[in-house]
Structure 1
Amino acid sequence: MYITITPQKLGGNYAQSSGDFVGYLEKENQGMEQEEMERFFNQYGDKISAEEVVKDIDGNGGKLKKTEPKFYSITVSPSKDELNRLQNSSEDLKRYTRELMKDYVASFNREINGRPITIDDIKYYAKIEHQRTFKGTDWQIKENQPYATKILQLKTEIRSIEEGRAEGNSKLLQKKIDRLEKEAPHQQDGERIVQGIPKAGNQSHIHIIVSRKDASNTFSLSPGSKHKASEVEMHGKSVKRGFDRDQFFERAEKTFDRTFGYQRNFAETYKARKDFVKNPKIYFASLMKLPTNEKAIAFKMMKESGVPMLPSIPVSQAQLAMKVFNRLRRGVEMAIKSSSIGI
C-alpha cells in the first residue's frame, strides 16, 4: 500500500481552482461508453459529475490566501498482492476509500466546537482509476536508461547516414539497436519498457481530492501540517493542532487488512519501509528474524518492488542499505530456495 498526500500546485503557486486536476482525473473516461465510466464519489454519494466536484471544492476555500493550498490530493496505490485480494476492484476500493477517510479524520489532532473531527466535517471526492503508465521516475525506466541512450545515439547515426551527412553501414547499426532492445533488463510483452507505455496487470488505484477547509467552510484542516499532536496557546485558550501522518498510514493498512482479510507481510508494512529509510540496520535485523517462509515472501516482494521501495531515499542511506541487503541476501539464498514459495 503506497499513499501520498500532495498539496496541488500550478507552477510556483497553489492552484486557485481544482478544474485542471479534476480534468486530469477524467482522462480514462475519454472514449468510453457511459456505463463503462468511473464516476466521482464521496462518503455518501456515487456517480457525481466532474462539474459538481469542481464547483463544490472551489466554493469551499473561504479566506485562504494564494500562498495556501485550497485542496489536497491523496493517492492510494494498493500492491499487486493487495489487489488480488479484492473480489470487485471498483466496488471494493470504493468501500475501502470510505473507511480510509475515517482514518484520515481520526489522524487530525483538532477539534471543532469542542468535539473531535468526524467524517461529516470534511469535504472530499474520490475516483477509481485502472491504468498506469511508466514514468521517468520508475526504477525500470532508470535501469533501462543506459540502453535507451545508446539506442538514441545509434538512431541519430542512422539518420545522418540516410540523409547523406555521414558515411556508415546503417544495417549494421540497426542490428546493434535490435540487440540492445533485447538486452535491456526490463521488458514487457517482449518489448523494452519505455516511458509512457501502459503498465501490464491490474493497476487499479484511488485518487482523492479533499478540501483544505472543513465542510462548513470555516475551519482549516491541513494534512500537510508539520505539527503532529500538540497544543498551542491562542487568544488565551489551549488549541489542539496537527496531523499524524504515521498514524494515518498505519491505520490505512490495518483498515485494508481488516476489511478484506489480508495477511500483510513484514516487507509491505509502512513501519518496515520507514525503517528501511531511517535505520536500515533495524530493518534488516527485523527481516532476518522472520520465519523462513515469511522471509521468502518478503524478499520476493522486495525484488518485485525494485528495492528500495520508497522514493526519495537519501543516496548515502540507500547505498548503505543496498550493501547490507546484498550481504544478507547471500546468507539466506539457500533458505529462500528451499522454501515452499516460488521465487
Structure 2
Amino acid sequence: MYITITPQKLGKNFAQSASDFVEYLEKENEAKVQEKMEHFFNQYHEGIPAEEVVKGIDGNTAKLKKTEPKFYSITVNPSKYELNKLQNNSKDLKRYTRELMKDYVRSFNREIKGRPVNIDDIKYYAIIEHTRTYKGTDWQVKENQPYAAKILNLKNEVRKIEQKQIQGNIAHIKEKIAQQERQVPHQQNGKRIVQGTPKAGNQSHIHIIVSRKDASNSFSLSPGSKYKASEVTMNGTLVKRGFNRDQFFEKAEKTFDKTFGYRRNFVDTYKGRKEFIKDPKSYFANLNKLPTPERIFAFKMRKETGFSVPIIPINKAQLALKIFKGLRKGVDIARKSSSIEI
C-alpha cells in the first residue's frame, strides 16, 4: 500500500479553491450511468454532491494566507494483493477510509480545548476510483521510452519519404518499426505501454480531500508540519504541535490488515520500504531471514513494483560499491512511493 499526502498547488502557488481538484476527481463519472457512478462521502454521509464538497472546503479557510495550503490530498493505493482481500471494492474501501481517518487524527500531536484531536474535528471528503492510467514517471513508460524514440524517428522517415523530401524504402522502414514494437519490454494486450495507457487489472484506490482547518474553522491541522511531536510555549501557554507521519503510515497498514485479515509481507510494509531507503544492508539481511516461501514471494512483489535486486550475501562485512550503485535506481522509486510528498 502506498499513501501520499500532498498540498494542492497550481504551479508554484497553492490552490485557492478546491473546485478544479474536485472536478478532476469526478472525471471517472463521465459517460457512466447514475447507478454506476461513485460519489463523495465522509465519516457519516454518502452521496455528497461535488458542489457541497467545494463549498465545504472553500468555506473552511479562516485566517489562512495565500501562501498556505487550504487543503491536502491523501491518496491511498492498495496493492493488487490487498485488493484481492476485498469482497466489494467500493463498500470495503469506504469502510477502510473511515477507519483510516481515525488513524489520521490520532497522528496529530495537537489538542483542541484541552483534549486530543478526534474524528469530528476534521472536515474531509473522499471518493473511490477504479481506473488508472500510466504516467510519464512510471518505470514501464520510462523503460519503453528509448524504443518509442526510435519508432518516432522511423515514422518521421516514412513521412519524409511520402512527402518526397528524402528517398527510401517505406516497406523496409515499416518492418523496422514493427520489429521495434515487438522488442518493447513493457506491453499490455499486445500494445506498447505509453503515457495515458489505462492500467489493466483491479486499480481501485481512494482520494481524500481534507481541510487544513479543523471543522470549527478555528484551528490549523497540517499533516505537512515539519514537527513530528513537540511542545512550544506561545504567549505563555504550552502548545503541542506536529504530525507523526511514520505513525500514520504504519497504523494505516495495521488497520487494513486487521479489518480485512490481510497477512502483510515484509517488503509490503512501510517500515520495510523505509529501511530499504535508509539502510539497504539491514533491509536485505531481514529479507533473507524470512521463511523460504515468504522470501520468494517478497522478491516477486519487489519485481512487480519495478525494481528487482538479487539476494545479497549478508555474511560480508560490507556491501560492494557496485551493488549500492545497482540499488540506486530502486531507492529512488522506493523513496517516491513511500514518502509523504509535501
User: Do Structure 1 and Structure 2 share a fold, with TM-score over 0.5?
Assistant: yes
Secondary structure of residue in 1 paired with 2:99? helix
Is 2:228 aligned against 1:212?
A: no
State the Cα distance separating 1:97 from its structure 2 match.
0.1
Is 2:285 aligned against 1:281?
A: no
Q: What is the match of residue 36 of structure 1?
A: 36
Distance in 1 (CA, whole Å) between partners of 2:252 and 2:148 is: 38
Question: Is the CA contact (8 Å cut-off) linking 1:308 and 1:318 kept in structure 2?
Answer: no
Name which of structure 1's ranges 170-179 and 103-112 shifts more when overlaid on structure 2.
Answer: 170-179
Distance in 2 (CA, whole Å) between partners of 1:143 and 1:220 is: 43
The C-alpha deviation readout for 1:291-338, integer Å capped at 9, x for no partner, is: 1000011000001111279xxxxxxx9971735999xxxxxxxxxxxx
AA at the equivalent of 2:227: H
Distance in 2 (CA, whole Å) between partners of 1:112 and 1:52 is: 26
Question: Is the CA contact (8 Å cut-off) linking 1:280 and 1:321 kept in structure 2?
Answer: no
The percent identity for this pair of structures is 71
Distance in 2 (CA, whole Å) between partners of 1:318 and 1:217 is: 54
Residues 292-303 of structure 1 correspond to what in structure 2 (within 5 A)? 292-303=292-303
Is 2:102 aligned against 1:98?
A: no
Distance in 1 (CA, whole Å) between partners of 2:325 and 2:273 is: 12
Q: What is the match of residue 155 of structure 2?
A: 155
Secondary structure of residue in 2 paired with 1:272? helix
Q: 1:120 to 1:140 in 2, by over 3 A?
A: same
Q: What is the match of residue 326 of structure 2?
A: 322
Q: 1:319 to 1:41 in 2, by over 3 A?
A: farther
Is 2:9 aligned against 1:9?
A: yes
| Larger relative contact order (Cα-Cα within 8 Å, sequence gap ≥ 6) | 2
AA at the equivalent of 1:298: A
Is 2:60 aligned against 1:56?
A: no
Distance in 2 (CA, whole Å) between partners of 1:104 and 1:192 is: 39
Secondary structure of residue in 1 paired with 2:154? helix
Extract unaligned runs of 5+ from structure 1. 310-316, 327-343
Q: What is the match of residue 334 of structure 1?
A: none
Extract unaligned runs of 5+ from structure 2. 310-320, 331-342
Distance in 1 (CA, whole Å) between partners of 2:206 and 2:56 is: 20
AA at the equivalent of 1:322: G
How many positions carry a matched residue from both structures? 319
Q: What is the match of residue 339 of structure 2?
A: none
Question: Is the CA contact (8 Å cut-off) linking 1:277 and 1:318 kept in structure 2?
Answer: no
Name which of structure 1's ranges 189-198 and 68-77 shifts more when overlaid on structure 2.
Answer: 189-198
Secondary structure of residue in 2 paired with 1:293? helix
Q: 1:210 to 1:325 in 2, by over 3 A?
A: closer
Secondary structure of residue in 1 paired with 2:17? coil
Distance in 2 (CA, whole Å) between partners of 1:59 and 1:308 is: 47
The C-alpha deviation readout for 1:148-198, integer Å capped at 9, x for no partner, is: 010011011111111111111111111111111111111111111111010
Is 2:202 aligned against 1:198?
A: no
Q: What is the match of residue 252 of structure 1?
A: 252
AA at the equivalent of 1:267: V
Q: 1:308 to 1:253 in 2, by over 3 A?
A: farther
Secondary structure of residue in 2 paired with 1:131? coil
TM-score (normalised: structure 1)? 0.91
Question: Is the CA contact (8 Å cut-off) linking 1:104 and 1:248 kept in structure 2?
Answer: yes
Q: 1:155 to 1:140 in 2, by over 3 A?
A: same
Question: Is the CA contact (8 Å cut-off) linking 1:74 and 1:207 kept in structure 2?
Answer: yes
Question: Is the CA contact (8 Å cut-off) linking 2:141 and 2:195 kept in structure 1?
Answer: yes
Secondary structure of residue in 1 paired with 2:214? coil
Q: Give the RMSD, CA atoms, in angstroms.
A: 1.7
Q: 1:319 to 1:148 in 2, by over 3 A?
A: farther
State the Cα distance separating 1:147 from its structure 2 match.
0.4
Is 2:188 aligned against 1:188?
A: yes
Distance in 2 (CA, whole Å) between partners of 1:325 and 1:217 is: 43
The C-alpha deviation readout for 1:8-49, integer Å capped at 9, x for no partner, is: 001211000000000000000001111110000000000000
Q: What is the match of residue 314 of structure 1?
A: none
